[in-house]
A and B are shown apart, each in its own frame.
Chain A
Amino acid sequence: MNITELDILLVEDNQDDMDLALHALRREKLANRILVVRDGEEALDFFFCRGAYSQRSFDHPPKLVLLDLKLPKVNGLEVLKIIKSDPRTKTIPVVIMTSSKEERDMVASYNLGANSYIQKPVDFDQFRDTVKTIGLYWLVINQPPVTEDTPHFRGAVNEPR
């Protein structure tokens, strides 16, 4: 997979959730350029071009990050906090996709700069609709940040919602 031309980064530790999500995305033809990382540490390596992702460049961020909150090693909120406080990564759109409808998680996510917060519906039809809507919106409707210049400059342009 070409990680420089990535549409979606899916941060998901659970195999079942991952499969369901990929199934839904694939159905909507949104899964062509998708990368899945399985924990928070790997996600951070990807964002900051470290370890397995050292060849990656900050210049080619994903168009959308689907971030679960409950993750091994470094949890989703920590990952969110780090990438949203770093000028090189802060403009990347992050949608929290979680089982939790906990108010504190929701509030914390928005406070840390999440671009959207979505509770995964139990009903699979609803889940698929949700995934479809998100994909269409962020990959098709939404105007992604300009890839030239410095990321922090680009960040000023991108204010979704």
Chain B
Amino acid sequence: MDAVAATIQQMEAEEDFLMVQRTQKTQAARRVTITVMLLGSLFAMIFLLIAGVAISHQIGINARARAQVTALNTQLEQRVAQRTSDLRSEIAERKLAEQALKNSIAVSDQVLKELADQKFALDQHAIVAVTDVRGTITYVNDKFCAISQYSADELIGENHRILNSGHHPNSFFQNMYRAIAGGEVWHGEIKNRAKDGSIYWVDTTIVPFMSDQGKPRQYVAIRADITERKLTAERLSNQALELSKQAEELAGSRHELETPTLTLRSVLDSMAEGLVAADEQGNFIIWNSAAEKITGMSAAEMPALEWNHHYGVFLPDAITPFPPEENPLLRAIRGESASAQMFLRNSALPQGAWIESIANPLRDKSGALRGGVIAFRDVTQRRVDEREIRKLNDELEQRVAERTAQLQIANQELESFSYSVSHDLRAPLRHIGGFSKMLMEEYGATLEPGARHYLDRIQAGTQKMGLLVDELLNLARVGRHSLNRRPSPLNPIILEVVTILEPDAEGRRVQWEIADLPIVECDPVLVKQIYQNLLANALKFTRARPLTVIEIGYLQHDEDGQTVFTVRDNGIGFNMKYVDKLFGVFQRLHRPEDFEGTGVGLATVQRIVQKHGGQVWAEAEVDKGATFFFTLGLGKQAESKSDGIAAGGQS
């Protein structure tokens, strides 16, 4: 109310001021009227005086002038009359003006009264202050005093800055002053500081009162207390700010949370393994898509002891229901680590699926039990595969056993065969040879020359067959010979073979070109036989050459780094289209009349090379010689079964 009173006071002052103005104006108008009237009278009197003087002067001086005077008099009278008429009308006008003025004053009074009423009302409602152009307070109403806690005496004469709360920036007031100094009405909300330091907000309208020069003369500020609203708003704003801050923080932390959550979610859903987690109450908190796929069902709320029944969990026998309290996830929730094989069969999985699972308790940072997690996967296919593999394996083993038995039988048969051959085939040969010889010796003299020739052919045949049988037995022996690998220098072996072959080279020019061969991990007894057969062949098929050149060397195999041993001759060679027959038993590329041989030698070479895990091949051109290549495998090979004969018995 004080504020209202102050405002009213302010208003009253303003109204008084207005009244004074109005009164002054009215009085000025009145003064003008009176002055006009007085001047009019004065002029008239002065004119009359001047006219009188002039008349008496004329009368006294010139009779003739009387007529003039008379004329003048008439003129004067006319003019007075005219003037009087003018004045009358002027007075009438004045009266009218006066009346109008009176009327206007009455109106003014009325207006003033209304103004006073309005000022009262304004003072009742608003906080009003008036400052001069410099901001010095010239008027405050009661409400102003009330809200500012200053008395009018304290305020008037003070600059309005006394109330500045410091809340608004300088620019705020600069803008305000710029506006009102420019004659504009300014409106804004200002935060002021009361005498006790408390804060109040006023909705302010400042009206500049302009001087006649168009400059602001004073400023009237009409304000309303909006402290409550403002504080509420401020509080709300603070709260909003706080909220928005919190929201921001939340958003931040949500983002922080969301990122791992999203990552976790996508990780969980991209897992091939089912992952299900439940809290300590048994509520599912994770049930990833693989879990859904594997179980055929989604997470459902139910007591944990019903899980097995609901999801159709069985023991791996696929028949016995899984004990409800033994569910691995439930055990995990109880704090145990559990793994289990189980069989799932439910309406979504009519065929059923074998599951392998591992469950572990979930604990928070403090180690308190917060639930459990179970990871599981469908191992049905694996079981099928494993069973298939096992079956195949069993079959394979069965077949291997059968094959081994067959091989053992075959081997035994082969051994007994070669034993028989060595005994039973050689014996009749011996008999044929022996008796034909005896026939020749004892009865040769009595036989016809033709009969003796046949006996010779029989002798030759038996010798040839004896050689064949011996070589076949040798081939069979190589097959049974246990591979006895050891580092063996090849050059001594070759020199030994060359010495053995000396008789065959007798009378021939033979040039042996033997490279510096490496030490090789091989069976020297068998490798000696390789060289013996190859060099014998080389010597045999170069028979017709004036100079026989036999090169024994080696080269590195490009593909697997094996050493390739070579035997090259400058003999008759052979047609490469028969190369496939080269290493077959009894296969011969030459007529026996041209080159003796049994067709077993290269077969024996191949057998020995194969025993070493190597390969043998040949290149040749008719009449350009032949080259034989062989390798001896790498390192230890699976050695063939020993035939049980001690090394000392080897020939």
Residues of A with Cβ closer than 8 Å to B? 14, 16-17, 20, 23, 70, 98-104, 106-107, 120-125, 127
Q: Report the bound CA distance from A106 to B645 in whole Å.
A: 10
Q: Are B463 and A124 in contact (CB under 8 A)?
A: no
Q: Can you name the residue of chain A whose Cβ is closest to the Cβ of B428?
A: A16
- B646 contacts chain A at the CB level, 8 A cutoff: yes
Q: Can you name the residue of chain B whose Cβ is closest to the Cβ of A21?
A: B434
Neighbour of A16 across the interface among B424, B431, B644, B645, CB < 8 A: B431
Residues of A within 8 A of B648 (CB): 107
Residues of B within 8 A of A100 (CB): 419, 422-423
Would you list which residues of chain B between 602 and 644 have a CB under 8 Å from chain A? 643-644
Q: Report the bound CA distance from A125 to B433 in whole Å.
A: 9
Q: Report the bound CA distance from A18 to B422 in whole Å.
A: 18
Q: Report the bound CA distance from A60 to B438 in whole Å.
A: 34
Q: Report the bound CA distance from A125 to B459 in whole Å.
A: 11
Q: Are B433 and A122 in contact (CB under 8 A)?
A: yes
Q: Report the bound CA distance from A106 to B473 in whole Å.
A: 15
Q: Are B645 and A124 in contact (CB under 8 A)?
A: no
Q: Report the bound CA distance from A100 to B418 in whole Å.
A: 10
Chain B 403-441 near chain A by CB (<8 Å), digits 1 or 0? 000000000000000010011101111110111111000
Inter-chain CB contacts under 8 Å: number: 72
Q: Are A23 and B466 in contact (CB under 8 A)?
A: no
**Closest-CB distance, A94 to chain B (whole angstroms):** 19
**Closest-CB distance, A80 to chain B (whole angstroms):** 16
**Closest-CB distance, A52 to chain B (whole angstroms):** 27
Q: Report the bound CA distance from A66 to B513 in whole Å.
A: 49
Residues of A within 8 A of B477 (CB): 103
Residues of B within 8 A of A125 (CB): 437
Q: Are A104 and B643 in contact (CB under 8 A)?
A: yes
- B131 contacts chain A at the CB level, 8 A cutoff: no
Residues of A within 8 A of B431 (CB): 16-17, 20
Q: Report the bound CA distance from A23 to B442 in whole Å.
A: 11
Q: Are B433 and A103 in contact (CB under 8 A)?
A: no
**What are some 14 contacts across the A-B interface (CB < 8 A)?**
A16-B431, A17-B430, A70-B423, A101-B473, A102-B422, A103-B477, A104-B645, A104-B649, A122-B429, A122-B463, A123-B433, A124-B430, A124-B437, A127-B434
Q: Can you name the residue of chain A whose Cβ is closest to the Cβ of B465?
A: A122
Q: Which 9 A-B pairs have the closest CB atoms?
A: A122-B466, A16-B431, A107-B649, A124-B434, A124-B437, A103-B649, A20-B434, A99-B423, A99-B426
Q: Report the bound CA distance from A23 to B434 in whole Å.
A: 10
Chain B 108-133 near chain A by CB (<8 Å), digits 1 or 0? 00000000000000000000000000
Q: Are A127 and B430 in contact (CB under 8 A)?
A: yes
Q: Are A102 and B430 in contact (CB under 8 A)?
A: no
Residues of A within 8 A of B438 (CB): 20, 23, 124
Q: Can you name the residue of chain B whose Cβ is closest to the Cβ of A24?
A: B434
Q: Report the bound CA distance from A17 to B434 in whole Å.
A: 9
**Closest-CB distance, B60 to chain A (whole angstroms):** 207
Chain B 476-517 near chain A by CB (<8 Å), digits 1 or 0? 010000000000000000000000000000000000000000
Q: Report the bound CA distance from A107 to B473 in whole Å.
A: 17
Residues of B within 8 A of A70 (CB): 423
**13 extra A-B contacts, CB within 8 A, seeds A101-B473, A122-B430:** A16-B430, A20-B431, A23-B434, A23-B438, A70-B423, A99-B423, A100-B422, A100-B423, A103-B477, A103-B649, A103-B650, A107-B648, A120-B426
